[in-house]
């Protein structure tokens, strides 16, 4: 079966095939139909449009505006988690209409799964104004494991503009009983007062277990290992050596001057200090093409004792184009340290609408 973009196929046809194949690769075949169904439900009307029509909304989920991105989390116990980052779209897309579509999709998800909306309800009025600003207001993460499908929501700290973002994050933490986390997080700002470090996502697990997390994400422009180390020091479980190896293997640069490095600090109920710290490196801006990105990522996976062949199969599940013919299929690679589980996550683009051409010059280490 060819999976490269065919113009007549619909967005749902394209992503449905990818998701079914990804489920098979990571041993989740029994969830394939369910996940394809949930995905189409969230995507909304854009899903039935053929791919030769342009994307109806410039979703920031992926570079080509496909409203979904896949990721595979390699877990220490040898299992894999499949996750989908999805943006809901309205029939007539726009910031306010998409937010309404997302809230309606959340209602449907809550009918399907036993979601706990308490913490979402506690912060929604902070993060979801009727006229949202910024590139998105509410995204979903659908987290698929053998045992269950879980849901996480991403809110946008920039939704009232950039200057308001730190205050919004502080207020959000406060409403969730995490007020004590804020002074510590601010104290680990790598470049205090600088606008190069920006709060970019505020994420909440929608389940009600002791493992439910709140994650605070920041984007760090023109940053490098020095900034990451400072940020990571907030979390007692950060291993500076592992972090240094990660950046050397995936990026190989002193300063990342293209797309920003991203970090997240992870909190469980009542925490003052983060339980976990993750770093996301937008590898696609620092390689010539996906063949290079795949090679670096497999090196990292092997160094961590993961089965790198699973990544080859996951890549083959989403595309059959030559990997050196484009860049961006592997969008980010992330390193997770501490709780809930350490490991590596690889983000794969659906490339429904476009494939970016290889970089003109090789960037970073070969």
Q: Identify which of residues 305 and 318 has a Cβ nearer to ligand TRP in the complex.
A: 318
Could you say which residues in the range 70-99 bind ligand TRP, by CB under 6 A? Answer: 85
For residue 66 the two structure tokens come to 């496909």
At closest approach, how far in Å is the CB of 2 from ligand TRP?
A: 26
Nearer to ligand TRP, 175 or 341 (CB): 341
Least distance between ligand TRP and beta carbon 61 (Å): 6
Write the DSSP symbol of residue 81. Answer: E
Residue placing its CB nearer to ligand TRP in the complex, 69 or 197: 69
The 8-class DSSP code of residue 164 comes to G
Residue 182 or 347: the one with the smaller Cβ distance to ligand TRP is 347
By DSSP bridging, strand 138-144 and strand 197-205 are: unpaired
> Residue with the closest Cβ to ligand TRP?
280
202 binds ligand TRP (CB under 6 A): no
Residue (58 or 91) nearer to ligand TRP, CB: 58
| E strand map for 164-230 | 197-205, 214-220
User: Is residue 347 involved in binding ligand TRP (CB under 6 A)?
Assistant: yes
Candidate residues 198, 215, 332, 339; the one interacting with ligand TRP per rule CB under 6 A: 332
**CA 355 to CA 340: how far, in whole Å?**
34
Q: d(Cα 45, Cα 31) in Å, to the nearest integer?
A: 23
The 8 Å CB, 24+ separation contacts for 182-188 are 184/234, 184/272, 184/273, 185/216, 185/234, 185/265, 185/274, 187/234, 188/230, 188/231, 188/233, 188/234
| Per rule CB under 6 A, count of chain residues that contact ligand TRP | 10
336 part of the interface to ligand TRP, by CB under 6 A: no
Rule CB under 6 A: say whether 277 interacts with ligand TRP: no
Sole window of 56-64, 244-252, 299-307, 336-344 interacting with ligand TRP (rule: CB under 6 A): 56-64
Residues between 145 and 184 that touch ligand TRP (CB under 6 A): none
* The residue count for the chain: 366
* Both tokens assigned to 269: 């109920």
125/213 with CB nearer ligand TRP: 213
The β-bridge partners of 140 are: 86, 153
The DSSP bridge partners found for residue 279 are 263, 335
The residue assigned the tokens 């995507």 is 43
Our finding on whether 307 is near ligand TRP (CB under 6 A) is no
- Which residue, 119 or 336, is less far from ligand TRP as judged by CB? 336
Dist CA 10 CA 26 (whole Å): 25
Residue 186 CB, nearest distance to ligand TRP (Å)?
21
> Residue 216: CB partners within 8 Å, gap ≥ 6?
169, 173, 185, 199, 201, 202, 203, 264, 265, 267
DSSP letter at 327 equals B
Choose, by CB under 6 A, the member of 70, 280, 286, 353 that binds ligand TRP.
Answer: 280
Select from 33-41, 47-55, 59-67, 243-251 the region that touches ligand TRP (CB under 6 A). Answer: 59-67
Distances (CA, A) of 147 to 27, 109, 298, 336: 12, 17, 27, 21
CB of 277 or CB of 280, closer to ligand TRP: 280
69 forms part of the interface with ligand TRP (CB under 6 A): yes
Of residues 209 through 268, those in contact with ligand TRP by CB under 6 A are 262
Q: Which residues bind ligand TRP (CB under 6 A)?
A: 60-62, 69, 85, 262, 280, 282, 332, 347
């Amino acid at each position: 079966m060819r999976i490269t973009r065919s113009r007549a196929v619909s967005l749902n046809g394209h992503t449905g095939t990818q998701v079914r194949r990804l489920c098979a690769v990571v041993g989740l075949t029994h969830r394939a139909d369910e996940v394809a169904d949930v995905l189409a439900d969230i995507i909304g009307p854009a899903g039935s449009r053929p791919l030769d029509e342009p994307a109806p909304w410039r979703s920031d989920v992926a570079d080509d505006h496909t409203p979904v991105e896949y990721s595979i989390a390699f877990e220490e116990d040898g299992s894999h988690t499949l996750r989908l980052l999805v943006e809901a779209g309205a029939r007539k897309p726009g910031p306010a209409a998409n937010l309404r579509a997302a809230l309606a999709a959340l209602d449907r998800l809550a009918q399907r799964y036993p979601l706990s909306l308490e913490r979402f309800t506690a912060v929604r009025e902070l993060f979801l104004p009727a006229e949202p600003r910024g590139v998105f207001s509410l995204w979903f993460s659908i987290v698929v494991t053998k045992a269950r499908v879980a849901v996480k929501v991403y809110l946008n700290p920039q939704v009232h503009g950039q200057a308001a973002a730190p205050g919004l994050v502080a207020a959000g933490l406060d409403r969730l009983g995490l007020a004590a986390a804020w002074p510590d997080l601010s104290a680990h700002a790598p470049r205090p007062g600088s606008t190069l470090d920006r709060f970019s996502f505020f994420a909440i697990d929608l389940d009600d277990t002791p493992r439910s997390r709140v994650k605070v994400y920041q984007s760090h422009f023109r940053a490098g290992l020095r900034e990451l180390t400072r940020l990571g020091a907030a979390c007692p479980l950060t291993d500076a050596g592992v972090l240094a190896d990660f950046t050397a293997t995936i990026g190989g640069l002193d300063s990342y001057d293209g797309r920003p490095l991203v970090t997240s600090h992870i909190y469980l109920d009542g925490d003052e200090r983060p339980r976990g710290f993750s770093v996301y490196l937008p590898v696609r801006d620092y390689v010539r093409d996906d063949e290079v990105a795949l090679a670096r990522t497999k090196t990292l996976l092997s160094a961590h004792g993961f089965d790198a062949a699973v990544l080859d199969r996951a890549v083959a599940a989403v595309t059959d184009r030559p990997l050196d013919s484009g860049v961006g299929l592997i969008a980010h690679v992330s390193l997770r340290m501490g709780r809930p589980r350490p490991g590596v996550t690889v983000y794969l683009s659906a490339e429904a609408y476009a494939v970016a051409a290889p970089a003109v010059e090789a960037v970073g280490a070969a």
